[in-house]
Amino acid sequence: MGADANKKPRLTTSAMIASIASEGQRTEAAPFGHALVAAAQQDSRIVGMTADLSKYTDLHIFARDFPERHFQMGMAEQLLMAAAGGMAKEGLVPFATTYAVFATRRAYDFIHQVIAEENLNVKICAALPGLTTGYGPSHQATDDLALMRAVPGLTVIDPCDALDTAQAVAEIAAYNGPVYMRLLRGKVPLVLDQYDYRFELGKAKLLRGGKDVLIISSGIMTMRALEVAELLGDGSADVAVLHVPTIKPLDEATIIEECRRSGRLVIVAENHSTVGGLGEAVALALLKARVHPEFRQIALPDAFLDAGALPTLHDRYGISTATMAANIRVWLG
Amino acid sequence: MTIIPQDAEAVSPLQRVAYHAWRIRRFALRMGEVQGQGYVGQALGWADVLAVAYCHAMKIRPADPHWEGRDRFLLSHGHYAIALYAALLEAEIIPESELETYGSDDSRLPMSGMATYTPGMEMSGGSLGQGLPIGVGMALGLRLKNNPAWVFNSMSDGELDEGSTWEAALSASHHKLSNLIALVDLNKQQADGNSHEILEFEPLVDKWQAFGWHVQRVDGNDLAAVVTAFDNAMSLTELKPRVILFDTLMGKSVDFLETREKNHFIRVDQDEWQAALSVLDANYEKGGF
């Protein structure tokens, strides 16, 4: 018995908050927390609020420096959103954190009615966006962008890496209005410092040009798209990457301008279900503008996803760098 | 407050709020007549509490409804808008000329209360169970700003069904929000009927006490008791949130509405509005002033 058990191969395991950084990738720790501290030093109206997930959204960094401006609301997301609205009514600028599934699914009506309907200055920062945990559908926010895009007046952003996150925090702190931001926490990959890039609210940015393929992406999929472009740069294809960190309002002008350039396969890559995210938003913008490129969507299926290890799942659902590159090779023939 | 009876010097504080309560009921009935419908049963039942809030307890500046020093009044039960508009009319925050626009297209006085429409309306209600958690955030914010204003959250007993109400009740006590006062209208009527048959919420005094609140339960149509309850809630030194549970009678002060079959929406026929005003006025005269 003992001898056989010892020979069993070690299984691939998962953790709820596994890092999305690949082996050896450069990272920065808690970019959201540090950026919020920097913003709060400039603006005394900023407060932090959380629903029992301070440590897991990097808000504890802020709490350490500003204990009197950090509010623990308990594991009560409806309360979190409504109380953040109440804080904003009093002229404060609350950054409210929890996991994306709980913010968007459980507290939807409170975001819609309390925060958005009165255009209150609340920043909802939601961790574990899309498929960034192998914990199963309870924690996989594969529908958060669809839900938040449906809320009138809500600005929706999906940053790519540590640099994007830090710059986005500074910009949304300065912006007066409700925002939903997807939050990358812990050791967050650092990628965009290698490009001529700066986060600007509402702007899509071309990170690299290319004559065969245009990948339009947001969030961590931009990091993947850049890796794919490197892989296919072996002579397979010349790939351009347009990063769209602001999902709403969408920078339709830049997207249409890039897609008008004839002959390129256009691929929208998103860490989200096929329903209601960046892919559908881009497709509608192109149809309205009568721009009709070859179009593909790389996204998560409209399904309850499996539990498992993130690398396994990203391969299974086609959002890993390797599977993306393989699919694009097929599409290019 | 701003509107007082002509012989103001001669009247007692209680007579003064009685006068305002009567006028709030009149405004509500007149708005009901404009629309031919509305939650006038609730307005008549809640008028005494509103009169004490707006004409006795709260600091407000009618010409500057969003004055930073004002006491905040959240109307969580948005369908009571007709009652709050009546109080805002009485407090001269809304001009009387707007009364007849109630519920009409492009009016600042929509059927369900919304902060985005109406001066003096502190929140957009209607989705029930949101006022108390908003109040928690405002009370925390006021404390952080060292602003001594009060936050009142006006709510219906139906909102005791909502989980978010109890999330807020836990949190208010946890954060020792002694600047937060919840006002609960126990009229025991919900959309589908008697509250006790919809979802039993008693024993309420025990529940709120167990959640760490200072609790009072009074007859919400006994003006003297309502005044005392407000005074008590605002003079306590305990570091606790405060709740006043008001047992009220829908349709109060219009006898034929008081006794009409009770449900969420009291039916008033078109020819009854003037009769209702007459009964209200007669009852007020009888009550002595």
What ranges do the domains of chain A cover? 24-189, 202-332
Q: What is the pLDDT, as a whole number, of residue B289?
A: 45
Could you tell me which chain B residue has the CA closest to the CA of A73? B171
Given this structure, which CATH class describes domain A24-189? alpha beta
**CA distances (Å), A68 to each of B105, B136, B238, B269, in order?**
46, 16, 22, 56
B66 close contact with A: CB closer than 8 A: no
Q: What is the CATH code for A202-332? A: 3.40.50.920
Q: What is the pLDDT, as a whole number, of residue B133?
A: 98
Of B141, B147, B164, which is closest to A78 when you measure between CB atoms? B164
Specify if B8 maps to a domain: no
Could you tell me which chain B residue has the CA closest to the CA of A68? B144
CATH of the domain at B106: 3.40.50.970
Q: What is the pLDDT, as a whole number, of residue B2?
A: 37
Query: How many whole angstroms separate alpha carbon A24 and alpha carbon B241?
Result: 52
Query: How many whole angstroms separate alpha carbon A71 and alpha carbon A91?
Result: 16
Task: Name the pLDDT band for B3 (thresholds 50, 70, 90).
Answer: very low
Q: Which of A227, A112, A240, A133 shows the shortest CA–CA distance to A178? A: A112
**CA distances (Å), B5 to each of A125, B17, B130, B226, B228, in order?**
53, 10, 37, 20, 22
Q: What is the pLDDT, as a whole number, of residue B32?
A: 93
A117 close contact with B: CB closer than 8 A: yes
CA angle A250, A254, A259 (to 5 degrees): 110
Inter-residue contact A231 to A177 (CB < 8 Å) = no
Q: Which residue has the tokens 């249409």?
A: A256
Q: Nearest CA to CA, how far is B164 from chain A (Å)?
A: 6
Report how far Cα B102 is from the mean position of its chain's Cα atoms. Answer: 18
Q: Do A76 and B134 touch (CB under 8 A)?
A: no
Burial of B271 (0-12, 13-18, 19+ CB in 10 A): exposed
Could you tell me which chain A residue has the CA closest to the CA of B74? A86
For chain B, the domain total comes to 1
CB atoms under 10 Å from CB of A210, counted, come to 17
Query: How many whole angstroms separate alpha carbon B107 and alpha carbon B194?
Result: 33
B171 close contact with A: CB closer than 8 A: yes
Query: How many whole angstroms separate alpha carbon A270 and alpha carbon A225?
Result: 10
Inter-residue contact B185 to B42 (CB < 8 Å) = yes
B 133-162 residues with CB below 8 A of A?
Answer: 133-142, 144-145, 147
Question: For residue B12, what are the contacts with CB-CB under 8 A and spacing of at least 6?
Answer: none
Q: What is the pLDDT, as a whole number, of residue A36?
A: 98
CB atoms under 10 Å from CB of B87, counted, come to 30
Residues in chain A, pLDDT under 70:
1-6
B167 close contact with A: CB closer than 8 A: yes
Domain that holds residue B232: 13-285
Specify if B232 maps to a domain: yes
pTM above 0.90, yes or no: yes
Specify if B64 maps to a domain: yes
B103 close contact with A: CB closer than 8 A: no
Q: Nearest CA to CA, how far is B116 from chain A (Å)?
A: 6
A78 close contact with B: CB closer than 8 A: yes
Q: What is the pLDDT, as a whole number, of residue A155?
A: 98
For B195-247, what is each residue's pLDDT tens digit?
Answer: 999 999 999 999 999 999 999 999 999 999 999 999 999 999 999 999 999 99
A24-189 and A202-332, same CATH topology: yes
Burial of A89 (0-12, 13-18, 19+ CB in 10 A): buried
**CA distances (Å), B194 to each of A63, A116, B201, in order?**
46, 34, 12
Q: Do B130 and A110 touch (CB under 8 A)?
A: yes
